[in-house]
Amino acid sequence: MEIVELFSYGQGAAYEADEFYVYKHPKYPRKYAVDIDGGCSCYVYEPPTVEQLSAETPLGKREVYAAFLKWWDPDYSHDTKLAVMDSLRAAL
């Protein structure tokens, strides 16, 4: 099994990062896994392992959209929500 990243988007102030990632679920090819990570501007994102993604609850598209909308913060984004949602839809 391999890790397949389908989508990522980062938002945040200059001194912090907040990132949203969508991966193909390793066990369920038609499902997805979401990873949200962040920290100070000096942090480096470490992608999840196959084992970590396999342990995630498999999500459908609607659940991924809901997770994204819950995570989204218009005060810290550099793009419009519509533009980013369009990119997310295209990736899935």
The total number of structural domains that make up the chain: 1
Give the range of the structural domain holding residue 25, as residue numbers without chain letter: 5-91
Contact 71, 44 (CB under 8 A): no
Which tens digits make up the pLDDT trace of 43-85?
778 889 999 999 999 999 999 999 999 999 888 888 888 999 9
Handedness of CA 21, 24, 25, 26 (dihedral sign): negative
Residue with tokens 């990243």: 5
Which tens digits make up the pLDDT trace of 9-40?
988 766 777 899 999 999 998 999 999 987 77
What span, in angstroms and rounded, lies between the C-alpha atoms of 73 and 89?
18
